[in-house]
């Protein structure tokens, strides 16, 4: 079996939704008996978190608007969430995607606004 490089793992993680990453973390806890998030926090240099925050955005749904069904479809497409979870986001608002590049955040915002939602980037 070929050894997987760390950069390949990072690239694969960038394509996953928040829920998929959470499932992965839970699987790692079960498999190895450790909390990988605690290791990641301890290993990160102090200045790295500040630098990463300035280059990433969080897409926040403020209001689904009148065309809620179209917005739910877009949320499901972007996040991979099920119908109930996507409807919950459309009804209550919240973070659609966190820590994404500014370009990706703008693309997601445009898709949601085209469907009729009110969105902001944080």
Q: Residue 37 has what pLDDT?
A: 54
SS (H, E, C) the chain: CCCCCHHHHHHHHHCCCHHHHHHHHHHHHHHHCCCHHHHHHHHCCCCHHHHHHHHEEEEEEEECCCCHHHHHHHHHHHHCCCHHHHHHHHHHCEEEEEEEEHHHHHHHHHHHHHHCCEEEEC
Q: Residue 12 has what pLDDT?
A: 86
The CATH fold assigned to 56-121 is Ribosomal Protein L30; Chain: A, (3.30.1390)
For residue range 64-88, list pLDDT tens digits in order.
888 899 999 999 998 888 889 888 8
For residue range 8-33, list pLDDT tens digits in order.
888 888 888 888 888 888 888 888 77
The percent of residues in the chain predicted with pLDDT above 90, rounded, is 16
In the chain, where the domains are located: 6-43, 56-121
């Amino acid at each position: 079996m070929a050894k997987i490089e760390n950069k390949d793992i990072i690239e694969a993680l960038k394509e996953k939704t928040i829920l998929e990453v959470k499932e992965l973390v839970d699987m790692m806890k079960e498999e190895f008996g450790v909390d990988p998030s605690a290791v990641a926090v301890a290993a990160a240099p102090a200045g790295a978190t500040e630098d990463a925050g300035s280059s990433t955005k969080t897409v926040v749904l403020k209001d689904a608007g009148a065309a809620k069904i179209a917005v739910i479809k877009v949320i499901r497409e972007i996040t991979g969430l099920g119908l109930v979870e996507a409807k919950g986001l459309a009804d209550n608002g919240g973070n659609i995607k966190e820590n994404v590049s500014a370009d990706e955040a703008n693309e997601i915002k445009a898709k949601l606004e085209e469907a009729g939602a009110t969105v902001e980037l944080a």
